[in-house]
Amino acid sequence: MRRRVMNATTKVTLLTVLVFWSCEVECNHPHPLDPLTPSELNHIRTIVQKSYPTSKTTNHSLIFNYVGLDEPNKSQILSWISSNPKIKPSSPPPRRAFVVVRFQKHSHQITVDLSTPSIVSKNVYEGNGYPMQTFGEQTVASQLPFSYEPFKESLRNRGLNASQVLCASFSIGWFGEAKSKRNVKVKCYYTNGTANFYARPLEGVAAVVDLDEMKIVGYDDRYVIPVPKAEGTEYRASKLKPPPGPKLKGIVAVTQHSEPGFTIEGHSVSWGNWDFHVGFDIKAGPIISLASIFDVEKQKRRRVLYRGFISELFVPYQDPTEEWYYTTYFDCGEYGFGQSMSSLQPFTDCPPNAAFIDAYYAASDGSPVKITNAFCIFEKYAGDIMWRHTEIAIPNEVITEVRSDVSLVVRIVSTVGNYDYVIDWEFKPSGSIKFGVGLTGILGIKAGTYTHTDEIKEDIYGTLLADNSIGIYHDHFFTYYLDLDIDGEVNSFVKSTLETVKVKDENTPRKSRWTVVSETAKTEADARINLGLKASELLVVNPNRRTKQGNKIGYRLLPGPVAHPLLLQDDYPQIRGGFTNYDVWVTPYNKSEKWAAGSYVDRSRGDDTIGVWSSRDREIEKKDIVLWYVMGFHHVPCQEDFPVMPTLSGGFELKPTNFFESNPVLKTRSPKASAMA
């Protein structure tokens, strides 16, 4: 199920809220990359509605599918920053919004100037694919079966109470059709006896809904399979039966007796040697921009990351049957990773020393929707070691030097239906940025007739987890957009392989060694890489900047889990998800190229992806470049994943490589013991 259920507003105690300045909806924007405010969303709604009038007689509805900041050109942002607005305020770049609405069965692209305020451009999108589905559309579509007589008959045949049935809409992809409509499948679940309705599907029953007409245009009831039992599916603590699980001993929480070590002004964050901006988009979710680090030895601030976010999350399931073959989700482009963000719970989702930031997006009718506590930001004291050494070789002396590690984490949780994705951006004093991903929530369950593996005589495309319950095999491919600006925009991509060399010198008993063979990618084709085939190191460097010893300054990609796509290249889901064909892509910066699966992903055909842009094989050496990294998980469900899944974690890191002249945290002072309660 991909429809998000809104959580109740979280009441935050004074102890959990750190003091930070927040811009009210009517104030002037201190930063041109700040997300759209509720006031701005209302202004946009009014402006667009005037230009696209609706009437009940013509049944012309107006659906706001995407409303986001039309970010200023990169040159404008950098010019604004160089004017040092913190010291001397300057006029920010024009404040604009990019809007996609569905009107008269067409997708309309609109740019709104918020300073005028007026529409400065609009056109009808004529390409393949449709815009992101809104929660409003999904909710209406999921209610249609209850007034549809064939569906009511299906419930009667199964002896099910309609009041205990819940339905949800699902994207259906594209499988070679010459023409397609904006259709979704609606499947249903039985809620009787458990909150875990995902574990009780009404298998074999599905309605097809046209979202533009908002009516059922197809219906199937192919077979009757008993609904899996509710027993053993509950996950709420208050409903769980004895015996209880192990009780974990608590510790005294980390307490900051003085002010927090970071400051938040609007959406700009400063901590230790890092400065960065936290943004939000209804499709991408969290956006980290303008990350720079202060070099103590050089006594200046240095640029690292201009802009980074999850561009797409591709989740193809591996059941080819009529009821499941189309289950190949694009969680950003079809469902909206941002609008699916959950309200974070203090003390559980985030530690007691966390500060929180809200987010706002436009609903189907354009009105602002608030996600309370959408972000949490906190200093992480995990008991890790930043660096250490014990020296015992010096006569009559033992030297032990240890520095404990502290980092700053920006966290969100996006609940896209049954799955909960925990996304962390972790900034370290050493200059590293660690990207954490946690997968939890509830598996996609298919009902079956089996209760034991001995009964299975054919492929069930998954794992038998409980009686009549099959967890279908599937993948998760996270595609990150990382516009690295290492000490400036002019960068290059260097790929180095570690190769074995035979030692020919007869004066040494060694027969072999390994060495590093480096190559600077000149075009996009040179930079496409599948990891795991060779030992390698991948760097983004500034070819015009070197250390005192002559090394090019850069940042290295330390990859996470490697999972290459296993679908055939001509399989329709893989055509649409072709951006996963390589683990690493590098493209020249282009403001319009930011969505890995394309701008209109619902029912897309793979003709507007990284693979298509990259086929032009543009020059990338000594250019403003973007690194795209695909981190994947092949998920073979196991019984421990049922009824709710323990968090499966992964991640990767961007690490400074010859960026500093020496260890940047050599002189770091560890937090005092008194600061740890």
User: Residues 275, 281, 319, 331: which is the catalytic one?
Assistant: 331
Cα separation, 104 vs 550, in Å, equals 61
My answer on whether omega of the bond before 395 falls inside 30° of 0, hence cis, is: no
Q: In what order do the strands lie in the sheet with 118-125?
A: 62-69, 96-103, 106-113, 118-125
Find residue 427's DSSP bridge partners: 408, 433
Going by C-alpha positions, the residue among 590, 607, 614 that lies closest to residue 523 is 614
384 is catalytic: no
Compute CA distances 310 → 2, 281, 368, 413, 481, whole Å: 18, 10, 23, 13, 6
Contact present, 541 and 547 (Cβ < 8 Å): no
Place of tokens 């009821």: 323
User: Residues 190, 317, 419, 629: which is the catalytic one?
Assistant: 419
Question: What is the sign of the dihedral through the CA atoms of 425, 426, 432 and 438?
Answer: negative
- What spatial distance separates the first Cα and last Cα of the chain, rounded to whole Å? 43
Give the chain's count of helices (H) and strands (E): 7, 32
Contact present, 317 and 472 (Cβ < 8 Å): yes
Across 296-398, the runs of DSSP E, i.e. the strands, are: 300-316, 328-330, 355-362, 368-380, 385-391
Contact present, 297 and 88 (Cβ < 8 Å): no
**Residue 181 is encoded by which pair of tokens?**
């409509």
What is the CA angle 234-235-237, rounded to 5?
Answer: 115
Contact present, 107 and 127 (Cβ < 8 Å): no
Cα separation, 484 vs 304, in Å, equals 6
Question: Which ranges in 118-272 belong to alpha helices (H)?
Answer: 135-143, 149-158
Contact present, 254 and 407 (Cβ < 8 Å): no
210 is catalytic: no
Cα separation, 447 vs 204, in Å, equals 9
**Residue 344 is encoded by which pair of tokens?**
């974070």
Give the DSSP H/E element, type plus range, for residue 268: strand 268-271
Cα separation, 415 vs 285, in Å, equals 11
- Residue 12 burial class via C-beta count within 10 angstroms: exposed 0-12, middle 13-18, buried 19 and up: middle
Cα separation, 551 vs 538, in Å, equals 15
Contact present, 326 and 185 (Cβ < 8 Å): yes
**Residue 306 is encoded by which pair of tokens?**
């201009």
Contact present, 531 and 511 (Cβ < 8 Å): no
Contact present, 595 and 330 (Cβ < 8 Å): no
Compute CA distances 361 → 121, 155, 353, whole Å: 22, 36, 27
Cα separation, 271 vs 280, in Å, equals 20
Neighbours of 474 (CB within 10 A): 23
Catalogue the active-site residues.
331, 419
